[in-house]
Amino acid sequence: MPESVKNRILYISFLLMFFLITVTLSGQKEKPMNRSWYDEKLLHFGFSLGFNTMDFNITPSQEYLEADSLYPEVTRLNPGINIQIVTDLHPSKYIDIRFLPGVSFGQRNVRYYKNQVLYNQQQRLESSFMEFPLLVKYKGDRLNNVRPYVIGGLNYRYDLAGKKEFDEERPVYLRVKRSDLYFETGAGLDFYLMYFKLSVELKMSNGIRNIIVDDAAPGHQEFRNAIDKMRSQIWVLAFHFE
């Protein structure tokens, strides 16, 4: 799938999220409000389950592209999972500070095209992240049992599956660095239920570092040489239970 098509899909996902927020709020009728003592406490906890799609923003090497016409891109987005613990600090009415340590699992497939023809081998890069996001949540006014919000902050991720040695029996000729710092932005809805709060959140996470390892696999240098820079991008749909 071309990069422009993937970007359109992700952009449409964001528009759909905001459309659902608008429809949900406009369709609210006056009803009894569920108590939210857990939401008004200075500190409360919960857990989160989510789904992700991991991607790379790849900058091809122009020098190598002109010499060999080898072009890399991520052609298919694969689903992964996220599991986190929610720690929520509530310093004011509209602002929460959230720390959500946890783990996430996923993979990315990098394919190569030579003279616009698919090259014979794709690179499947699996990731097992330990992650430590610190986020600021800005909440709107509560309407009955629903409250919209936006969120943003930083997330340090450490990839336990990254930077392994090349394995002759496994045809993967790219390696990625273990650690990266991401900036994250997103939006969501808090639903106040009878005994707990459910939050549905869509979030985009962009890595800051160039995470590709410089060393090329012996005999397969073309896979590494075709890439100038590679930054990580992750989309997460999360369900928080608090």
Average of per-residue pLDDT across 63-75:
69
Secondary-structure class of domain 3-28+36-241 per CATH:
mainly beta
Q: Is the pLDDT of residue 20 over 90?
A: no
Compare 193 and 69 and report the one with higher pLDDT: 193
Q: State pLDDT tens for residues 190-218.
A: 999 888 899 999 999 999 999 999 888 77
The pLDDT value given to residue 3: 47
Residue 33 has pLDDT above 50, yes or no: yes
When pLDDT is cut at 50, 70 and 90, the band that residue 112 belongs to is confident
Instruction: Work out the percent of the chain whose per-residue pLDDT is above 90.
Output: 50
Q: What is the mean pLDDT of the chain?
A: 84
In this prediction, residue 34 carries a pLDDT of 78
**In this predicted structure, what is the pLDDT of residue 1?**
47
Does pLDDT of 2 surpass 70? no
Residue 139 and residue 24 in contact, taking contact as beta carbons nearer than 8 Å: no
Domain locations in the chain? 3-28+36-241
Under the banding of pLDDT at 50, 70 and 90, the label for residue 4 is very low
Q: Give me the mean pLDDT over the 116-123 stretch.
A: 75
Question: What pLDDT score was predicted for residue 69?
Answer: 66
Q: Is the pLDDT of residue 228 over 80?
A: yes
pLDDT band at 18, cuts 50/70/90? low
Per-residue model confidence as pLDDT tens digits over 162-181: 877 777 667 788 889 999 99
The pLDDT score that the predictor gives to residue 81 is 96
